[in-house]
Structure 1
Amino acid sequence: MKRPSLWAAASALAIVAAGQAIAQEDTESTEVKRLEQVTVTAVKREQSLNDVPVSVTAFTEETRQELALDSLADFARFTPSLAFSSGDDRVFIRGVGRQTNTNGSDPGVATYADGIYDSSTGAVGKSDFFVERVEVLRGPQGTLYGRNSIGGAINVISKRPTDTFTAEARAGIANYQTYEVEAAVSGPITDKVRAKLGGSFRNQEDGYFKNVAGGPSEGGANETTYAEFQLDMDPAEGFNLWLKADYLDASLRNRSTNLASPYDTFPFPPGYLTPGNAFGYLIPGFTQAGSATTNPGVDDIRKFNVNTPTQSNIDGNYGFAAIATWSLPTVDIKYLGGYRTFDYNSNRDDDSTDVISYTYPLDPANIAAGELFTGGPNCAWLLENVGPVCGPATIFPSRTFGYVEDRAYSSHELTVQSTTDSDLWWILGAYAYYEDAHQESHFGNAAQPQMLAPFGAAPNPSGDFVTAISDLNTKSYAVFGQADYAVTDTITLTGGLRYSQDEKYGSEQLRVLGYGIIPGISLGGSGALAPVIDLTAATVSYTDAPGVASTVEIDPDTGLARRRLAADWSALSGVAGIQWQPDASTNYYARYSRGYKSGGFNAGGISQFPLTDKETLDAYEVGMKKAFGDQLQLNASYFYYAYDGLQAPLDVVENGVRLTRFFNIEDSRAQGVELEAMWTPTEQLRIMASYAYNDSEIRSACCFIDVVDPLGLQPGAQPVGTIDANGNQPQDLKGQMLPRTIPNKLGLNVSYDIPLGASGDLTVSGNYSWQDATYHGVFNRPYSETEAFDQVDFVGVWTSPEDRYRVVGYVKNVFDEQGYDGATGTLTAVPPGGYATTLYLTPPRTYGVQLQVRF
């Protein structure tokens, strides 16, 4: 692991020195705009952002509009050490996050909506029309928040009902045939009850990426409806009750990835259980949806070529939340509870080609081919010597991936915290979380008639060659507490403990079929007589292992193998820190915290080792927050992480079938420097900047197979030991960077206010962001790396006198640069031993205008 860059350290010192000089020069100036004072609830009580002894970045409604921040990916551009991949909906802070979306794996970064845990990230991307503030906390947060958060937490605070009647509406249009409307009314119903009703509709007709086969464009295209209702009540003296209900419905063409490499034209590419698609381009007489026979993504990553369009739907997404606060003379007793349920289903092309059909060529005539369904000779020999008793198979190779997720969960937190103005502040809490999750993955080839009726096995009406299903229940409980004690007027000590207990149990189901891959019944030898063979019994693991709670049973009616899973974990974690505030504008802090994430299952694969153990993280951090007069605010922090048990999903080959397994990476380290600055040199000018340097290293992890480089031949590979029974070369991961750790990242915003007198005010703003090349897998190879990229945005906000009307215009990604937030690789047979890369893409240039009206 590298030392923190001298450039970063020197920059921090230079900025501090410059800030001191600026503050001295402008001490007597009265024309300087005061820095915006942001109040946050990151530590469970209202404090100025600059007084909080943790690393926090907060985005208000005004900031979001001036920077055109619409999504979690936008927040990541301007938040040190925050990374988000929209392609797989995974959040990382300082390299800590969630490496897989498989049922049974917990997020590493917890998302909260109004302090209530939400297992999805949807609330973070909600429009600022409904959101007052978004807070991003970096580092473990277990002693203040109910749900454990080993990497950090993101808290979204809603706009509450108002004390006076208000109404607001927005309407916007943008390129890609996009339009949206938002409206809300709010105000008192009685002197003790306030209400708010709001809703929005958004439609983006055109997608960011073009299907050259003639299908609809994809990426970003959606039709989304959202509604919410709130009640804020004071039913008794000292008692407040807030209730919220919301609903979301969405139809999406949400492509965010594309194959960036040439097609593999081998008849059966590595890992395939059905005939290859691109092989058809080589066969005379093939049929296709379009006309391209090579991958257009090689020359233009925003073009793809498929005959199955992407279609996803979010149905029945209902959420309910309640916060009850009972304020007594010296303490507040608070309950925070929430429930959410949703159904998500998606279907997309899984072969990146538009081939519809082709004729699989027969092998040369051979009387001793050993083909079972032709009595020994192969089909070509029979055609030459017997007659038309067989013929070549017609292949319909369209491969699809269907995904279903039905989830219901509830979160319950009860806290008691002190409210007196004394030297001691404390909080005690108890937490419970329940989740019922159903997940299905369907790798399909339903266009192939034989796939519907496997030989000698149960019917397969779905046409899947792999069906993986899991049903898991999660129960999590915790008790936690934290105290802050002011030893002197300037020094405060912090201590906290948490005990967590997690239980997961449920079942997994698997069915695996193969077409033409079994020797003796091959497509080249048996032709059209070759059947689909059920491989389930030979694929699943019957071995008893940790986490396995039953034997494997195969249902004769469905062909699905099934077994039960169950396990539990527990841990003690905590925090200790010291804060020194020598004056009102200076905040120094140092803290140690221990984070924990429960173990889980790689459910759905019935693999040999389905269980993964817990993760623990020892985090050390020192930081400074310093205001230089009313002009300049500087925040700087350094962190060091000792990370044990990172849960990493790696592909393995078991019984000849490629599956995904969880592994715990034994020992990793990470460190980094984070800088944030806000400077207002004049009444009209504001400059915001953020920078993060992150370095990580796996210290101990051996011995693992890279299925993209099974022989360990790629540059950087560290072969160890002998080749295993499957012909794979194990590798050592020592020295590899942790996935999604962005080495360097910079965000910059410059905004300028132009007074227009009686015509209002105009704010013009420009953004620049840059992020370094990044690895997205534990094997740091070219096929898991994304290159560095940058982005420039321009925003203009006109505000009428008294802020009744507002017009926001923006151009994001002005120079239409292509960015990437993920990459994966696959082994190819053509070229032999090569690899193909799939990239996760960020949006192209977008522009639009929005009118806002307040009544």
Structure 2
Amino acid sequence: MFTRSLLLTSAAGAALFAVPVFAAEAPDQGGAVAPDQEAQARDGRGEVIIVTARRRQEAAQAVPLAISVVKADSIESTGNFNVVKLQQLAPTLQVYTSNPRNTSVNIRGLGVPFGLTSDGFEQGVGIYVDDVYNSRVAAATFDFLDVNQVEVLRGPQGTLYGKNTTAGAINITTNQPTFEFEGRAEVTAGNLKYKQAKAAISGPLSDTIAARLAVATTTRRGTLYNVKTGRWINEQDNLGVRGQLLFKPNEDLSITLSGDYSKQDPYGFGTAFVRVGTTQRALNRQYDALVAAVNAANPGRNYAVPSRNVYDRLTDIDSTLQAGNIIGGASARVKWDVGPGTLTSITAWRFWDWKPQNDRDFTGLSIVSKSQNPSQQDQYSQEFRYNYESDKIDFVVGLFGFKQRIDTQGTEQQGSDASRWSLTNAQGGNDPSILNGLTATNTQYLKSTSAALYGQLSYKLTDALTIQPGVRLNYDKKSGFYQRVVTTGAGVVLDCTPPFVTNSPRAAQCGVYQPQLTTPSASKWNLSYDFNVNYKFARDVLGYATYAKSFKTLGINQNGLPLNSATNLPDLTTSTVKPESVNHFEVGLKTQFWDRRATFNLSAFYTEIKNFQATVNGGQFGTVRGYLANAEKVRTQGLEADFKIRANERFTAYTNVAYTDAKYKKFTNAPCPPELSGGTLQAANATPDYSQPGVPGALSPRACDISGQDLPGVSKWAFSYGAEVNAPISLLSKDGQAYLGVDGNYRSHWNSNASPSIYTKVEGYALTNFRAGVRGDGFDVFGWVRNAFDVKYIELLQVAPGNVGLIAGTPGDQRTWGGTIKFSF
């Protein structure tokens, strides 16, 4: 009932208002702009925003879908130099990261399963750079390099963007080579030893060949101080380069060759102590008691965290940290005007090399002494696309092929404090040698193949009414290999075949790490389709309604399987994960008024997913990285409004608001949150009892029904805003401007655990940024302050393994300030 009311109310409200987008001007990538748009640009009225959201060049206000488009200057002036920071400008976008690999990008609460990453699933938000698909979020965490604009397409985009884009797509377009000589350079410096430099140059090599080269580097001191090593961690140390070569022998044919390389080598990433929340474990087996026991067993040690206030920005994690991330690739894009349409071919190769070392116990104690899972990825893709445009009919048809391989070599090792931490005295907790040096060595690979045939048609029934059906037939095949070999501290290979002698060292060791060998393999066909009806009520008022049936293909678990609570052996039934099935409804209006100086867009959506792929964590060290499981049903619904005004040359402003209500509609067999975990398990056939959360020694449910609870990582309310005012000045006898700008964003509270917990609630926060400077022909000099009011906020909370009650996290950036100088010619 709420959903129907929501959609009807939105449609009625949209009829009263005019709807638009927060956006920018796109590069020339083929296609034609309507004559009225050209006239608009000439007569100095509001901006013409050109996008390629439907794989052709058109005005953003003519595209019947919810889309946010962010200009390069908006990205740069607000300090949003990668995908992680982009959520400050697009409130329906949620990005959460503990390191580049473990990065979640969601739109409207959907996309990547929230939590630690597994290679065996697909992301629901497709990330494209110059038409090239990036298969992993981690492989798209590079700095924005010579970017022209970013389009955030909200809602399923499966018929054109494919690869299971059930939540939306991020379409990044870089600046292209030009046949006129041009260049730009930019230098920024700030506190925390922040330094950033960017440069790009473009021009002709001959009458038919043009080239472009861009480079960027970013460094910054870390934001957490590690008292154990005496240095700051979670720093930035990025280098990127991109080269492009354009061959254009005539107006009908263009060939663009591109290559890019990005290297990130920061010292990070680590966490700090946030809080302790009691679980159902025996009280003497929880965090504070365990720390006391470790100290008692080591006279004179007297361990304590350096601070229990996370905003002191102190940590003492003792494992080696590393976050080496190398990303790159090459592509060839051919565009050929053939008859009434354009044929496009995109051939691409991408690679990703991840070299991490982490602290998996989140403490300065030697519990997990080593944790590293280096990965290497290669992906190849080929897409053929044909675009046709006429007065009545526009269509796009295409073929897409994709092949990927990921290899991972993991090592996790227990330390000298592990026995005391993880074992009772009866199990040998007072004998460090039982777990010290216990090592799990993982070898795994994933092979993934995908192919698709797709098409989308726009048919104008009248000058005002257009229908737009789309369809995509997709095939996916995945095969994996995972082997974990466990060796004791003495180097003996551990055999965990039952039976066990109760409380024997072998039983204790097998309770921490289980040898495993799995070779999952599965394939699936699916059909995605959508139907859009849009009506032009007036020249600048467009209404639309969309239904989409979409899928996210099957997944396989690649990071080890959970243990069966009855046998303590790997649960092989969790090797594969069912595909998601998505039903999506959306209505909206896009409008401009006040002589197109003002834009106001409104959209309402309802999305229901069956067999939602969720990342869960059983609390065991052996599966601490999380595994995939299906929630029976998830629902997300909401409203989005975007307003932008360009009153005149002296004042511009925007605000974007999103209300997102995302819930587990039915998830009856979810892992329990920490406050309902850690105790002796309730009887297998008993009705789960949730009445004693956080009571030490209470019986713990084997699983929890979290139906009706909010999805993790989603703020119900989010908004962003910005404004700039300028005044004309004379600079060295030339006209210029002095300007003052402000921008900010707000997010309401959200939960940072797959099964929402009272201990992982992240409070809402609002950030405000200022900038002021002068600019003129070819230069821009400004100072900036970000998080100007030094708001204290949390970016991510994590539950430590073992049900000991420890919650660690990452505080958001404190107030930062600096200055930027830009030159262009």
Superposition TM-score, scaled by structure 2 size: 0.82
1:300-358 residue CA offsets vs partner (Å, 9 max, x unmatched): 3522122335222124x331011111111212111112111121111122333334xxx
Matched, 1:294 2:305: yes
Q: Which residue of 2 aligns with 1:779?
A: 755
Q: Which residue of 1 aligns with 2:719?
A: 746
Give 1:103 shift: 1.7
Give 1:795 shift: 1.6
Q: Which residue of 2 aligns with 1:361?
A: none
Question: Could you say if the C-alpha distance between residues 35 and 783 of structure 1 is closer, same or farther in structure 2, counting changes exceeding 3 Å?
Answer: farther
Matched, 1:261 2:275: yes
Q: Which residue of 2 aligns with 1:377?
A: none
Q: Which residue of 2 aligns with 1:428?
A: 397
Correspondence list, 1:752-767, <5 A:
752-757=725-730, 758=734, 760-767=736-743
Matched, 1:400 2:370: yes
Give 1:621 shift: 0.4
Q: Which residue of 1 aligns with 2:340?
A: 330
**CA distance, structure 1, for counterparts of residue 803 and residue 650 of structure 2:** 61
Q: 1:686 aligns with which of 640, 649, 652?
A: 652
The question of whether the paired residues in 2 share the 8 Å contact of 1:478 and 1:500 is answered with yes
Question: Could you say if the C-alpha distance between residues 329 and 270 of structure 1 is closer, same or farther in structure 2, counting changes exceeding 3 Å?
Answer: farther
Identity %: 22
Question: Could you say if the C-alpha distance between residues 791 and 514 of structure 1 is closer, same or farther in structure 2, counting changes exceeding 3 Å?
Answer: farther
**CA distance, structure 2, for counterparts of residue 813 and residue 282 of structure 1:** 43
**CA distance, structure 1, for counterparts of residue 707 and residue 163 of structure 2:** 32
Give 1:201 shift: 2.4
Matched, 1:788 2:764: yes
Matched, 1:416 2:386: yes
Q: Which residue of 1 aligns with 2:228?
A: 213
Matched, 1:613 2:627: no
1:636-663 residue CA offsets vs partner (Å, 9 max, x unmatched): 0000111111111222378998784422
1:140-166 residue CA offsets vs partner (Å, 9 max, x unmatched): 111112433111000110111111122
Counterpart secondary structure, 2:233 = coil
Give 1:838 shift: 2.5
**CA distance, structure 1, for counterparts of residue 310 and residue 242 of structure 2:** 45
Give the counterpart letter for 2:352 in structure 1. Answer: F
1:507-531 residue CA offsets vs partner (Å, 9 max, x unmatched): 1012346789xxxxxxxxxxxxx97
Q: Which residue of 2 aligns with 1:582?
A: 537
Give 1:681 shift: 3.3
Q: Which residue of 1 aligns with 2:408?
A: 439
Give the counterpart letter for 1:119 in structure 2. Answer: S
Give 1:285 shift: 2.6
Q: 1:673 aligns with which of 639, 644, 648?
A: 639
The question of whether the paired residues in 1 share the 8 Å contact of 2:638 and 2:660 is answered with yes
Give 1:635 shift: 0.4
1:797-832 residue CA offsets vs partner (Å, 9 max, x unmatched): 4212x2x222132111111112333333357777xx
Q: Which residue of 2 aligns with 1:91?
A: 105
Question: Could you say if the C-alpha distance between residues 683 and 72 of structure 1 is closer, same or farther in structure 2, counting changes exceeding 3 Å?
Answer: same
Number of residue pairs the alignment of both structures matches: 746
Matched, 1:596 2:548: no
Q: Which residue of 2 aligns with 1:474?
A: 448
**CA distance, structure 2, for counterparts of residue 624 and residue 14 of structure 1:** 5
Q: 2:362 aligns with which of 352, 355, 366?
A: 352
**CA distance, structure 1, for counterparts of residue 277 and residue 670 of structure 2:** 27
**CA distance, structure 2, for counterparts of residue 790 and residue 311 of structure 1:** 31
Superposition TM-score, scaled by structure 1 size: 0.80
1:112-148 residue CA offsets vs partner (Å, 9 max, x unmatched): 0111101244686655651001000001111112433
Q: 1:728 aligns with which of 701, 707, 712?
A: 701
Correspondence list, 1:74-85, <5 A:
74-85=85-96
Give 1:848 shift: 1.6
Question: Could you say if the C-alpha distance between residues 54 and 464 of structure 1 is closer, same or farther in structure 2, counting changes exceeding 3 Å?
Answer: farther
Give 1:218 shift: 1.2
The question of whether the paired residues in 1 share the 8 Å contact of 2:613 and 2:630 is answered with yes
Counterpart secondary structure, 1:666 = strand
Counterpart secondary structure, 1:253 = coil
The question of whether the paired residues in 1 share the 8 Å contact of 2:208 and 2:248 is answered with yes
**CA distance, structure 2, for counterparts of residue 214 and residue 656 of structure 1:** 28
Give the counterpart letter for 2:751 in structure 1. Answer: Y
Matched, 1:841 2:807: no
Which runs of 5 or more structure 1 residues have no equivalent in the other structure?
21-31, 356-395, 517-529, 541-559, 714-718
Correspondence list, 1:159-558, <5 A:
159-204=175-220, 206-219=221-234, 221-235=235-249, 238-255=252-269, 257-262=271-276, 279-287=293-301, 293-294=304-305, 296-298=307-309, 300=311, 302-315=313-326, 317-355=327-365, 397=367, 399-419=369-389, 421-445=390-414, 463=437, 465-512=439-486, 535=509
**CA distance, structure 1, for counterparts of residue 618 and residue 145 of structure 2:** 46
Q: 2:606 aligns with which of 629, 640, 645?
A: 640
**CA distance, structure 2, for counterparts of residue 842 and residue 36 of structure 1:** 35
Further displaced range: 752-761 or 665-674:
752-761
Q: Which residue of 1 aligns with 2:495?
A: none
Counterpart secondary structure, 1:760 = strand
Q: Which residue of 2 aligns with 1:24?
A: none
Q: 2:130 aligns with which of 81, 96, 114?
A: 114
Question: Could you say if the C-alpha distance between residues 649 and 796 of structure 1 is closer, same or farther in structure 2, counting changes exceeding 3 Å?
Answer: same
Give 1:464 shift: 5.4
Give the counterpart letter for 1:650 in structure 2. Answer: V
**CA distance, structure 2, for counterparts of residue 235 and residue 748 of structure 1:** 45
Question: Could you say if the C-alpha distance between residues 270 and 37 of structure 1 is closer, same or farther in structure 2, counting changes exceeding 3 Å?
Answer: farther
The question of whether the paired residues in 2 share the 8 Å contact of 1:689 and 1:749 is answered with yes
Give 1:462 shift: 12
Q: Which residue of 2 aligns with 1:552?
A: none
The question of whether the paired residues in 2 share the 8 Å contact of 1:708 and 1:826 is answered with no
Q: Which residue of 1 aligns with 2:665?
A: 699
Matched, 1:69 2:34: no
The question of whether the paired residues in 2 share the 8 Å contact of 1:270 and 1:828 is answered with no
Further displaced range: 250-259 or 147-156:
250-259
The question of whether the paired residues in 2 share the 8 Å contact of 1:825 and 1:837 is answered with yes
The question of whether the paired residues in 1 share the 8 Å contact of 2:322 and 2:358 is answered with yes
**CA distance, structure 2, for counterparts of residue 113 and residue 402 of structure 1:** 29
**CA distance, structure 2, for counterparts of residue 720 and residue 575 of structure 1:** 44
Give the counterpart letter for 1:595 in structure 2. Answer: S
Counterpart secondary structure, 1:681 = strand
Counterpart secondary structure, 1:62 = helix
Question: Could you say if the C-alpha distance between residues 827 and 339 of structure 1 is closer, same or farther in structure 2, counting changes exceeding 3 Å?
Answer: closer
Give the counterpart letter for 1:91 in structure 2. Answer: V
Counterpart secondary structure, 1:645 = strand
1:162-201 residue CA offsets vs partner (Å, 9 max, x unmatched): 1112232222211111222222221111111101122222
Give the counterpart letter for 1:45 in structure 2. Answer: R
Question: Could you say if the C-alpha distance between residues 840 and 568 of structure 1 is closer, same or farther in structure 2, counting changes exceeding 3 Å?
Answer: farther
Q: Which residue of 1 aligns with 2:71?
A: 60
1:688-722 residue CA offsets vs partner (Å, 9 max, x unmatched): 00000011232222133316234699xxxxx9725
Q: Which residue of 2 aligns with 1:393?
A: none
**CA distance, structure 2, for counterparts of residue 96 and residue 341 of structure 1:** 26
Give 1:579 shift: 0.7
Q: Which residue of 2 aligns with 1:525?
A: none
Give the counterpart letter for 1:849 in structure 2. Answer: G
Q: Which residue of 2 aligns with 1:390?
A: none
Give 1:38 shift: 1.4
**CA distance, structure 1, for counterparts of residue 715 and residue 149 of structure 2:** 25
Which runs of 5 or more structure 2 residues have no equivalent in the other structure?
21-42, 421-427, 491-503, 562-569, 680-684, 691-698
**CA distance, structure 2, for counterparts of residue 407 and residue 216 of structure 1:** 31
Question: Could you say if the C-alpha distance between residues 159 and 464 of structure 1 is closer, same or farther in structure 2, counting changes exceeding 3 Å?
Answer: farther
Question: Could you say if the C-alpha distance between residues 112 and 464 of structure 1 is closer, same or farther in structure 2, counting changes exceeding 3 Å?
Answer: farther
